[in-house]
Every structure is written in C-alpha cells, then in structure tokens.
C-alpha cells in the first residue's frame, strides 16, 4: 500500500501523517524530515539543503528522486508507505510512478488537504515562534506558497487525472477533527 499525504505548506501533513501512520500501519516517509536530518548531520546534501530550504525554494528534482528511490528500494523498508512532501513537482510524480511500476506497485491513494492561504500563513508564523524552523520566516513562507502554486499544485491534477483515489479533506479544524475526516475518507474508499 502506497499513500501520499499532500497539501500546501502548513496544511498539517506532518501532524496528520503521524496519526495515519499509527492507525493504518504505514511507515511515514517525509522528505522534509530527511533533509532536515541531513542539515543536522552537516553532510554535503545537508549544506545544499540548508541554503535552499531556508530560502523557501525546492531542492533539485534529480537529487530528491535519487533519495526517495534509494529508500523505496531498500529491502528493509516496508512496502506499506505514506509519503509526505514527495512528489512535489510533475517530474517527481512521473518518476515515482515509474519507480513503483518497476516493482509492480502504484500509488493507492492521495490524501489532499484544503486550507485557505491566510490560515496557512498564520499557522506557519505561529510555528516560527514555537519551533523556530529556519524556513518559517515571512520571506521563506511567501516563496514556499509561490512554489506550491507554481509547481506542486500540478501534482494533484496529475493524480486526479489518473485512476488514483484522491481523498480531499478540509484541513481547517482541531487535529482530532481533521484526522476523523481522513479516517472516514479512507474507510469510505475501502
């Protein structure tokens, strides 16, 4: 089972992914978390990631695709996966479809959050105060929203136009309430 959790920055992907992981026995794979771990380790990828992420830009497709491919091909990694933060461009979506097809797999479902942009910006500015993430400055947030609209939103159309189940979820509300909507959506879809 391969699921994607998808939405604009601040839509609650990471928070809800942890809940979905526990309830539906999927392993949560977040490219943002992977990159932040590289930054913390001070690796070559981490140095590049630090610069790009703090500006709110996207990492190069080929680099991210290689990282995800390496993980999905690892025999120790479960084939029950919830991807968070990937794919973020049409190129990445095509690459994911191809790498899964080679193993006889496909994306089974997409959970897609709808949250108005003013709510997103408010949440990210609040998170800046609480967590101090390097990419939660006002400038980086503006750039991340731009990248989302310009490059990432197309990923949802890619899956809407294929046979993949897309479960659209209203992401405004309490964490439990939003999770309940996801659970209902996944159960209704079988």
Q: Is 144 among the catalytic positions?
A: yes
Window of 6-14, 16-24, 40-48, 98-106 that interacts with ligand ADP by CB under 6 A = 6-14
Q: Which of 133, 149, 181, 183 is catalytic?
A: 133
Q: Which of 19, 36, 123, 144 is catalytic?
A: 144
Q: Is 181 among the catalytic positions?
A: no
Please report, in angstroms and rounded to a whole number, the separation of the first and last CA atoms in the chain: 12
* Pick from 21, 15, 19: nearest CA to 1: 21
Q: Which of 13, 19, 36, 181 is catalytic?
A: 13
What is the C-alpha separation between 178 and 174, in angstroms, rounded? Answer: 6
Q: Is 149 among the catalytic positions?
A: no
What is the C-alpha separation between 186 and 74, in angstroms, rounded? Answer: 27
Residue 3 binding ligand ADP, by CB under 6 A: no
Give me the 27-46 binding string for ligand ADP, x by CB under 6 A, dash otherwise. ----xx--x-----------
Nearest residue (beta carbon) to ligand ADP: 32
Residue 88 binding ligand ADP, by CB under 6 A: yes
The least CB distance from residue 31 to ligand ADP, in Å, is 3
The single residue among 5, 53, 112, 167 that binds ligand ADP, judged by CB under 6 A, is 53
Q: Closer to ligand ADP at the Cβ: 6 or 179?
A: 6
Q: Is 47 among the catalytic positions?
A: no
User: What is the set of active-site residues?
Assistant: 13, 88, 127, 133, 144
């Amino acid at each position: 089972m391969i699921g994607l959790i998808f939405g604009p920055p601040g839509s609650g992907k990471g928070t809800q992914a942890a809940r979905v992981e526990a309830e539906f026995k999927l392993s949560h794979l977040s490219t943002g978390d992977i990159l932040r771990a590289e930054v913390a380790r001070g690796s070559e990828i981490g140095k590049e990631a630090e610069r790009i992420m703090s500006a709110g830009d996207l990492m190069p497709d080929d680099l991210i695709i290689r990282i995800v491919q390496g993980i999905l091909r690892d025999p120790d990694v479960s084939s029950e996966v919830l991807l968070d933060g990937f794919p973020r461009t049409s190129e990445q979506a095509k690459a994911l479809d191809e790498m899964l097809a080679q193993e006889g797999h496909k994306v089974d479902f997409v959970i897609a959050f709808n949250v108005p942009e003013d709510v997103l910006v408010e949440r990210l500015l609040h998170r800046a105060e609480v967590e101090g993430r390097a990419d939660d400055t006002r400038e980086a947030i503006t750039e991340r929203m731009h990248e989302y609209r310009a490059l990432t939103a197309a990923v949802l159309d890619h899956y809407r136009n294929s046979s993949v189940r897309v479960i659209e979820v209203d992401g405004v509300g309490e964490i439990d309430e939003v999770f309940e909507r996801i659970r209902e959506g996944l159960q209704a879809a079988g």
